[in-house]
């Protein structure tokens, strides 16, 4: 038995795999104690099996966990008090960054604050040159003096980034030893170990973010594993990463920067699985709608695009992680998005959210602001007696009252049109998020299937797809817990990197092979260690390359793990030209190609096969029909279906509502739909 758990802003999703069958559960997220939400979801699963929690947990071999704890700590400023040590004469790495502006001529925007303030930045007398030679020896006495000052400043973590430590890490290593000796118990992050890549800002930013998260994530993951053990769990705890894989909780605690996009990265993993098995379209848009955020990602030709420009917050104004990650765009649009009318009489929905606490008004848990969920209840989309399978009763009267007072009255609308306007504005916000990420990657939404995930996906996915021109909407059987399902089918993964400069003109095959062999050795150690017992494993190599005199590199996959002769080099150069053409619509075959950074990614599949069918949901099954308000059609008597009532392959026309204990799919009169053999709802908008 295996568990996959995704902690969102509003609900904690749990999928239990038992003898190949899947069960889905949702429990409210507890922001003040996220581990409690995990235990609550596990308690629901135990209760469904009429078992005590301890007995239930004792039969499990693995728990895979996705969490927003790291990113939430950064956004809310609740990270550790962190010091930054850097080469003398270069204290402004985190201040100056790499330049760049979103609005070049808007001078009213204040200069962004560095991730670690200058007051906590310390200059270390040392210098390594670009060839790895010691230009200025490390002044250990100065380092010890600075460490003594740190001890008096209540510093909780330390980040270290020296110039050209990737060429020779001797000084960073020694400072790490001195910190361990003179400041025991205070974690530190060394840039050459964490992120051995060119460009000191990216290494410095990665080290700063990672160090600031260590105390927090050590406590959180320690609490998670400790409380699970106390509750009776004796299996392996894995945590999801921004790169779309998972690693052991202990390893993530050592490098917590990988947990920044932990949960959302699993949406495209699950989306790719469903797109490849159920859809003829080559491209898929994955739209994961939760209670707090709307996460958009792509699958392009069965490949999930990754980005090297991973920012926390706005580009240039936020903070760069320095690591590649799955390309996901998140906007503040979900079931809990708050609606309001501004002083100019304009309706806005989001980005603020009612979240899990206090929640939408209809939850009756203290919320006072109208939300998208309240609007859907007023329109009749949601059954007040069947929310979460009947576990939560929704207050329709409260939702109607707050929308009348806050939205309908100020806009001069009747109640139902005002609620429909909230849905329409939220839909447009989601459409713009999708348009941005698709157009930026050269994808026409009219050629892509829209895969809806998250508990709130079904409320307006048909409207989104019609607005974009998508030919198909697919709501998977596990769509309400899409990220948790992605976690269930993901692999144990990690990536190793190394810097070695050579060119196509002065090609050093021996040096390239030496670097690749060292990377492969690290991958094999991972396979033999954390990945031991895996059903299968793979190692993929790549190189970051550029034309001579270019500033930025692009990553090119390698066909093998070594170079035998000139033909292998020629193949690599041709692959680089093709990649450059695909990304920039131009290449220069006559130019010299420079190879800079080398990578090796290792993945271990811990289970045989992929996926499974949902076998239980709990709750009383809905039936009959109810009055639904559709924009342009007014109040319509609409049949209510469950997936179990639908014959696979039988095409049906809207309007219709398809309900499960965890999601509601709204289909208007313009759309048709059928249930697939795999249990997904396939809708033609």
- DSSP letters of 201-232? HHHHHHHHHHHHHHHHHHHHHHHHHHHHHHHT
Tell me how many degrees the CA angle 193-197-203 measures, rounded to the nearest 5.
70
b/e per residue 476-505 (b: at least 16 CB within 10 A):
bbbbbbbbbbbbbbbbbbbbbbbbbebebe
The three-state secondary structure class of 579 is: helix
pLDDT for the residue numbered 303: 86
pLDDT for the residue numbered 570: 95
Q: Is the pLDDT reported for residue 619 higher than 50?
A: no
Q: Which are the contacts of 557, defined by CB distance < 8 A and separation ≥ 6? A: 540, 541, 542, 575
Lowest-confidence pick of 225-229, 292-296, 658-662: 292-296
Q: Is the pLDDT reported for residue 247 higher than 70?
A: yes
CA 7 vs CA 58, 67, 527: distances in Å: 22, 5, 28
Say how many C-beta atoms besides its own lie within 10 A of residue 365's C-beta.
Answer: 14
pLDDT for the residue numbered 620: 53
Q: Is the pLDDT reported for residue 189 higher than 50?
A: yes
pLDDT for the residue numbered 591: 95
Q: Is the pLDDT reported for residue 610 higher than 70?
A: no
| Residue 541 within a domain | yes
CATH number at residue 517: 3.30.1490
Residue with tokens 């080099």, as numbered in its chain: 569
| Residue 90 within a domain | no
Q: Of the residues 206, 225, 252, which one is the last residue of a structural domain? A: 206
Percent pLDDT > 70 in the chain is 98
| Residue 650 within a domain | no
In this structure, are residues 402 and 369 in contact, taking their beta carbons and an 8 Å threshold? yes
- In the beta sheet, which residues pair with residue 549? none
pLDDT band at 615 (very low <50, low <70, confident <90, very high): confident
| Residue 146 within a domain | yes
Mean per-residue pLDDT over the chain, rounded? 92
pLDDT band at 178 (very low <50, low <70, confident <90, very high): very high
**Residue 223, Cβ density class (10 Å: 0-12 exposed, 13-18 middle, ≥19 buried):** middle
Tell me the pLDDT tens digit for each residue of 415-447: 999 999 999 999 999 999 899 888 877 788 999
pLDDT for the residue numbered 616: 53
b/e per residue 559-583 (b: at least 16 CB within 10 A):
eeeebeeeebbeebbebbbebbeee
Strand order in the sheet with 672-675: 329-331, 294-300, 283-289, 448-453, 473-475, 681-684, 672-675, 652-653
Tell me how many degrees the CA angle 223-228-231 measures, rounded to the nearest 5.
125
pLDDT for the residue numbered 621: 63
pLDDT for the residue numbered 618: 43
Report which of 499, 497, 496, 495 is spatially closest to residue 165, judged by C-alpha positions.
Answer: 499
Q: How many domains does the chain contain in total?
A: 2
Residue with tokens 């090609």, as numbered in its chain: 507
Higher pLDDT, 586 or 290: 586
| Residue 118 within a domain | yes
Tell me the pLDDT tens digit for each residue of 631-650: 889 999 999 999 988 999 99
In whole angstroms, what is the distance from residue 527 CA to residue 22 CA? 28
In this structure, are residues 461 and 450 in contact, taking their beta carbons and an 8 Å threshold? yes
Query: pTM for this one?
Result: 0.88
Lowest-confidence pick of 321-325, 501-505, 534-538: 321-325
Binning the chain into helix, strand and coil, the percentages to the nearest 5 are 35, 25, 40
Q: Which are the contacts of 643, defined by CB distance < 8 A and separation ≥ 6? A: 477, 658, 660, 675, 679, 681
| Residue 151 within a domain | yes
Going by their DSSP bridges, the two strands 664-667 and 656-659 should be labelled as antiparallel
In whole angstroms, what is the distance from residue 266 CA to residue 620 CA? 30
| Residue 566 within a domain | yes
DSSP 405: I
| Residue 100 within a domain | no
Q: Which are the contacts of 92, defined by CB distance < 8 A and separation ≥ 6? A: 118
pLDDT for the residue numbered 617: 46
Tell me the pLDDT tens digit for each residue of 347-394: 999 888 887 788 899 999 999 999 999 999 999 999 999 888 888 899
**Positive/negative CA dihedral, 199, 598, 552, 247:** negative
**Positive/negative CA dihedral, 31, 33, 38, 40:** negative
DSSP 360: -
Lowest-confidence pick of 322-326, 352-356, 656-660, 661-665: 352-356
Please state the rounded mean pLDDT for residues 573-584: 92
pLDDT band at 270 (very low <50, low <70, confident <90, very high): very high
- DSSP letters of 580-639? HHHHHS---TTS-EEEEEEEEEEEEE-SSS---EEEE--SPPP-SEEEEEETTTEEEEEE
Q: Of the residues 579, 605, 631, which one is the last residue of a structural domain? A: 605
Please state the rounded mean pLDDT for residues 16-40: 89
Lowest-confidence pick of 68-77, 82-91, 466-475: 68-77
Q: Of the residues 181, 206, 231, which one is the last residue of a structural domain? A: 206
Question: Both tokens of residue 629?
Answer: 């308000």
Q: Report the chain's terminal Cα–Cα distance, integer Å.
A: 38
Tell me the pLDDT tens digit for each residue of 584-594: 889 999 999 99
pLDDT for the residue numbered 278: 92
Alpha helix locations (H) across 441-508?
A: 461-468, 482-489
Domain range for 127: 105-206
pLDDT for the residue numbered 609: 67
């Amino acid at each position: 038995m295996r568990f996959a758990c995704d902690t969102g802003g509003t609900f904690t999703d749990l999928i239990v795999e038992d003898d190949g069958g899947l069960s889905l559960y949702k429990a409210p997220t507890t922001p003040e104690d996220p581990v409690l939400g995990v235990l609550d979801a596990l308690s629901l699963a135990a209760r469904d099996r009429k078992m005590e929690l301890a007995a239930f947990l004792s039969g499990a071999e693995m728990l895979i966990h996705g969490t927003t704890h790291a990113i939430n700590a950064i956004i809310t400023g609740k990270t550790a008090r962190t010091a930054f040590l850097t080469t003398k004469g270069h204290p402004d790495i985190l201040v100056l960054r790499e330049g760049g502006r979103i609005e070049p001529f808007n001078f009213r925007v204040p200069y962004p604050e560095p991730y670690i303030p200058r007051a906590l930045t310390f200059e270390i007398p040392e210098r390594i040159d670009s060839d790895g030679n010691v230009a200025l020896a490390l002044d250990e006495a100065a380092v010890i003096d600075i460490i003594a000052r740190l001890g008096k400043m209540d510093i909780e973590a330390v980040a270290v980034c020296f110039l050209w430590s990737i060429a020779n890490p001797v000084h960073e290593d020694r400072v790490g030893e001195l910190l361990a000796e003179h400041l025991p118990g205070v974690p530190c992050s060394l840039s050459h170990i964490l992120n051995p890549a060119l460009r000191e800002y990216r290494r410095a930013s990665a080290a700063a973010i990672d160090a600031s998260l260590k105390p927090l994530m050590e406590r959180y993951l320690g609490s998670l594993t400790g409380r699970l053990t106390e509750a009776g769990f004796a299996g392996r705890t894995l945590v999801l990463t921004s790169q779309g894989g998972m690693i052991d909780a202990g390893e993530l605690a050592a490098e917590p920067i990988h947990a920044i996009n932990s949960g959302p990265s699993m949406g495209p993993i699950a989306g790719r699985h469903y797109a490849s098995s159920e859809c003829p379209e080559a491209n898929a848009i994955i739209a994961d709608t939760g209670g707090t955020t709307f996460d958009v990602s792509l699958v392009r030709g069965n490949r999930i695009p990754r980005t090297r420009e991973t920012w926390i917050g706005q580009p240039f104004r936020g903070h760069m992680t320095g690591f590649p990650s799955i390309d996901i765009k998140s906007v503040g649009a979900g079931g809990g998005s708050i609606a309001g009318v501004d002083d100019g009489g304009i309706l806005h929905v989001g980005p603020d959210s009612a979240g899990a606490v206090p929640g939408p008004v209809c939850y009756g848990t203290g919320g006072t602001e109208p939300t998208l969920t309240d609007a859907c209840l007023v329109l009749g989309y949601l059954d007040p007696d069947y929310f979460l399978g009947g576990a939560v009763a929704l207050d329709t009267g409260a939702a109607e009252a707050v929308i009348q007072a806050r939205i309908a009255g100020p806009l001069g609308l009747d109640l139902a049109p005002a609620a429909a306007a909230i849905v329409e504005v939220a839909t447009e916000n989601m459409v713009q998020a999708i348009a941005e990420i698709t157009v930026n990657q050269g994808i026409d939404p009219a050629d892509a299937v829209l895969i809806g995930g998250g508990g709130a996906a079904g409320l307006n996915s048909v409207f989104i797809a019609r607005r974009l021109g998508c030919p198909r909407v697919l709501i998977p059987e596990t769509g309400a817990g899409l990220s948790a399902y992605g976690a269930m089918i993901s692999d144990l993964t990690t990536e190793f990197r190394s810097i070695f400069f050579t060119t196509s003109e002065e090609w050093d095959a021996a040096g390239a092979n030496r670097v690749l062999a060292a990377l492969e050795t690290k991958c094999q150690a991972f396979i033999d260690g954390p990945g031991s017992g895996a059903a299968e494993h793979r190692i993929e190599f790549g190189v970051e390359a550029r034309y001579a005199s270019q500033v930025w590199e692009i990553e090119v996959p390698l066909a093998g793990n070594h170079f035998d002769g000139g033909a292998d080099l020629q193949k690599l150069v041709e692959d680089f030209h093709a990649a450059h053409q695909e990304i920039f619509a131009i290449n220069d075959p006559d130019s010299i190609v420079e190879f800079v950074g080398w990578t090796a990614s290792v993945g271990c599949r811990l289970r045989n096969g992929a996926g499974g069918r949902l076998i239980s949901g709990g709750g009383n099954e809905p039936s009959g029909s109810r009055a639904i308000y559709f924009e342009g059609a007014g109040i319509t008597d609409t049949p209510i279906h469950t997936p179990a009532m639908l014959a696979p392959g039988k095409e049906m026309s809207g309007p219709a509502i398809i309900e499960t204990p965890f999601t509601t799919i709204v289909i208007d009169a313009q759309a048709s739909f059928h249930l697939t053999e795999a249990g997904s709802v396939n809708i033609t908008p």
